[in-house]
C-alpha cells in the first residue's frame, strides 16, 4: 500500500476503499499491532461493546441517543454505511468531518508503514483514534461480524450486549446456531457484565456457559429484564423490582424494536449504576427520537406532483431479519397493494428469503445496486418458483426500479425495499439525498 501523504478526503477514502481487495481475515494480531503503533487509543474511553445477528445497530443507536440526551459526549461506531463512509463514525448528532477523517487516516497510514490490513480493521482503528482524540465520555462499538475474532474485540468494556443470534455469514461463523453463538460469545470478558437479548434456547445455553467460565454477570431478556405494551406506552422493568420505567414511546415501527429498546434501557440503567447520571426523561427522549436510516425506516415521497408514495426501507438480509420484516408488515401497516423492491448479494443464500417475501408481495421488483457483489436480476428471477415469477418485474438499475414504482403505486400502497443494505443506500439517496451531516 502507498505511504504517500493522504492530502484530501477523496484520497483518504480511496486509500480505505483500496483495502477491500484484501479478503476478510478474522483474527486480532494485526489489529493489536496497529493500535499499539497508535498508542492504544482503544484504552482511552469507557466503552460498551455490542454484537448480534440482528438489532445490534438499532440497540447501539438507541443507547447513544439516551446517553447524548443525558449530556454525555458519546462516540458511536457502526457498519456498514449507506452512502458515505463518514456515517460509520459519530459523536452525538454529528458524523466525523472530512478533515478529521483525512487526518486520522493519514495517521494510520503512516503507522502501518507499508503493511496491509483489511478495510474493517482500518476503519475500526480510525474510530478508536478519533474517539480518543475527542475525549469521549463513552463509546459504543458495534462488531462487524461475529465477535470472537472481530477487529473490535480488543476492548475491555464496561459492559457487553448480545442482541440476537441466528444464521448469517455461515462461511465465516459456522452453519449451526451453536457455532454462531460461540463466535458472538467471544466478546464476553472476564467479570464484565453481559446483557443478552438472545431468545434461541440453544444459543442461550452457549452464552450462559461462556458467562460462567468467565465470571461475567448475565442479565437475560424476559428472565432478568422485560418490556411490555401498556395503555400509556411501553413499560420496562427489572425482574427483581429494583428498577422500572413507564410511558415509553418507541419512535420506530417493527415487531422487534421493543426488544432492542429493552436491551438499550437495561444498558443505560447499568451505566447509571456505574456512575453515569441518566434521568428517566433522558431515556424516554432518547428512545422516542432515535432514527436509524435504512432499518425499518418509513418515508413518504412525492414524484412529479403525485400524492405521496409510502416507502418502508429495511436492511433485512438474513432469515431472522426477514421474519421480523414480514411480521411487521402483518401487524404495523395497512396497504392496498404491496410492492417489494428486492436485491441481494450473490454470496448470500437469498433464494428462500426472496421466495418468502415474494409470497407476501403483490409485485416484486428485482434489481441490482452498483456493487460487484450484486446478484444479477435475471439470476434472482430464475431462483423464484414458477408461480411467483408471475409477480416479478426485472429492472437492471435501482433508478429504473424506482421509476416503475412511481408509475404504478398510489398513496394507498406500500413499497418495501429490502434484501441488501447496498440497495437501501442507493435507493435512499435517490429519495432523500445525502445522509451525512456536519
User: What would the pLDDT profile of 357-385 be if each residue is shown by its tens digit?
Assistant: 999 999 999 999 998 889 999 999 999 99
- Domain for residue 3, yes or no? no
Q: Is residue 312 located within the same domain as residue 359?
A: yes
What's the pTM value of the predicted model, to 2 decimals?
0.92
- Domain for residue 438, yes or no? no
φ, ψ dihedrals at 77, nearest 5°: -120, 120
**Angle (CA) 437 328 59, round 5°:** 45
H-type alpha helices, 361-414: 377-383, 386-389, 398-408
Rounded-to-integer distance, Cα 430 and Cα 424, Å: 10
- Looking at the structure of the chain, the number of domains it has is 2
Boundary residue ending a domain (288, 309, 326)? 288
CATH of the domain at 113: 3.40.1190.10
Q: Is residue 343 located within the same domain as residue 284?
A: no
CATH of the domain at 318: 3.90.190.20
- Domain for residue 4, yes or no? no
- Domain for residue 215, yes or no? yes
Q: Is residue 269 located within the same domain as residue 312?
A: no
- Domain for residue 2, yes or no? no
pLDDT mean over 395-402: 96
Q: Which long-range contacts (CB under 8 A, 24 or more apart) does 345-350 make?
A: 345/317, 345/371, 345/373, 345/374, 345/375, 345/420, 345/422, 346/373, 346/374, 346/375, 346/376, 346/379, 347/171, 347/373, 348/317, 348/375, 349/170, 350/375, 350/380, 350/383, 350/419
- Domain for residue 376, yes or no? yes
Q: Is residue 310 located within the same domain as residue 221?
A: no
Q: Is residue 262 located within the same domain as residue 323?
A: no
Q: Is residue 173 located within the same domain as residue 135?
A: yes
Q: Is residue 63 located within the same domain as residue 87?
A: yes
Q: Is residue 327 located within the same domain as residue 203?
A: no
Per-residue confidence band for 120, with pLDDT thresholds at 50, 70 and 90: very high
Boundary residue ending a domain (251, 266, 288)? 288
Residue 436's pLDDT is 57
In order, the DSSP letters of 223-272 are TTEEEEEETTEEEEEETTSS-EEEEE---S--TTHHHHHHHHHHHHHHHH
Per-residue confidence band for 4, with pLDDT thresholds at 50, 70 and 90: low
CB 43 within 8 A of CB 129: no
Neighbours of 356 (CB within 10 A): 15
CB 15 within 8 A of CB 126: no
Range(s) of the domain holding residue 404: 297-432
Per-residue confidence band for 349, with pLDDT thresholds at 50, 70 and 90: confident
Residues sharing a CB contact under 8 Å with residue 109, sequence separation 6 or more, in sequence order:
1, 2, 3, 6, 15
- pLDDT tens, 140-155? 999 998 889 999 999 9
- Domain for residue 306, yes or no? yes
Beta-strand runs (E) in 121-162:
138-142, 159-162
- Domain for residue 1, yes or no? no
Beta-strand runs (E) in 158-205:
159-162, 194-196
Amino acid at each position: 500500500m502507498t505511504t504517500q501523504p493522504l492530502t484530501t478526503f477523496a484520497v483518504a477514502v480511496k486509500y480505505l476503499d483500496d483495502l477491500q481487495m484484501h479478503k476478510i481475515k478474522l483474527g486480532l494480531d494485526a489489529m493489536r499491532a496497529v493500535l499499539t503503533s497508535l498508542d492504544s487509543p482503544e484504552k482511552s474511553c469507557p466503552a460498551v461493546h455490542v454484537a448480534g445477528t440482528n438489532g445490534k445497530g438499532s440497540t447501539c443507536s438507541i443507547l447513544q441517543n439516551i446517553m447524548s440526551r443525558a449530556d454525555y459526549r458519546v462516540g458511536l461506531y457502526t457498519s456498514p454505511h449507506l452512502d458515505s463512509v463518514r456515517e460509520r463514525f459519530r459523536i452525538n448528532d454529528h458524523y466525523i468531518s472530512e478533515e478529521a477523517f483525512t487526518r486520522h487516516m493519514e495517521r494510520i497510514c503512516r503507522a502501518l508503514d507499508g503493511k496491509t490490513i483489511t478495510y474493517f480493521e482500518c476503519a475500526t482503528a480510525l474510530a478508536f483514534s478519533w474517539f480518543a482524540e475527542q475525549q469521549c465520555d463513552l463509546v459504543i462499538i458495534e462488531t462487524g461480524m461475529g465477535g470472537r475474532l472481530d477487529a473490535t474485540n480488543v476492548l475491555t468494556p464496561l459492559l457487553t450486549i448480545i442482541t440476537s443470534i441466528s444464521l448469517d455469514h455461515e462461511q465465516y461463523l459456522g452453519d449451526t446456531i451453536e457455532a454462531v453463538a460461540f463466535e458472538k460469545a467471544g466478546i464476553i470478558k472476564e467479570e464484565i457484565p453481559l446483557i443478552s437479548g438472545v431468545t434461541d434456547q440453544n444459543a442461550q445455553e452457549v452464552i450462559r456457559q461462556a458467562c460462567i467460565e468467565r465470571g461475567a454477570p448475565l442479565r437475560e431478556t424476559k428472565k432478568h429484564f422485560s418490556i411490555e405494551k401498556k395503555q400509556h406506552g411501553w413499560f420496562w422493568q427489572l425482574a427483581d423490582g429494583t428498577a422500572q420505567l413507564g410511558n415509553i414511546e418507541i419512535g420506530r415501527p417493527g415487531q422487534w424494536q421493543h426488544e432492542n429498546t429493552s436491551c438499550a434501557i437495561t444498558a443505560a440503567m447499568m451505566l447509571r449504576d456505574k456512575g453515569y447520571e441518566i434521568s428517566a426523561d433522558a431515556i424516554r427522549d432518547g428512545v422516542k427520537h432515535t432514527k436509524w436510516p435504512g432499518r425499518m425506516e418509513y418515508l413518504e415521497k412525492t414524484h412529479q406532483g403525485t400524492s405521496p408514495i409510502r416507502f418502508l426501507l429495511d436492511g433485512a438480509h438474513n432469515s431472522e431479519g426477514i421474519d421480523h420484516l414480514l411480521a411487521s408488515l402483518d401487524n404495523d401497516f395497512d396497504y392496498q397493494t404491496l410492492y417489494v423492491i428486492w436485491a441481494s448479494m450473490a454470496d448470500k443464500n437469498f433464494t428462500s428469503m426472496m421466495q418468502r417475501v415474494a409470497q407476501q408481495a403483490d409485485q416484486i421488483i428485482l434489481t441490482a445496486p452498483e456493487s460487484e457483489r450484486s446478484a444479477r436480476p435475471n439470476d434472482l428471477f430464475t431462483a423464484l418458483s414458477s408461480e411467483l415469477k408471475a409477480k416479478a418485474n426485472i429492472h437492471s438499475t435501482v433508478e429504473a426500479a424506482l421509476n416503475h414504482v412511481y408509475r404504478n403505486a398510489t398513496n394507498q400502497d406500500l413499497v418495501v425495499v429490502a434484501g441488501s443494505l447496498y440497495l437501501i443506500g442507493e435507493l435512499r439517496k435517490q429519495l432523500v439525498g445525502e445522509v451525512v451531516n456536519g
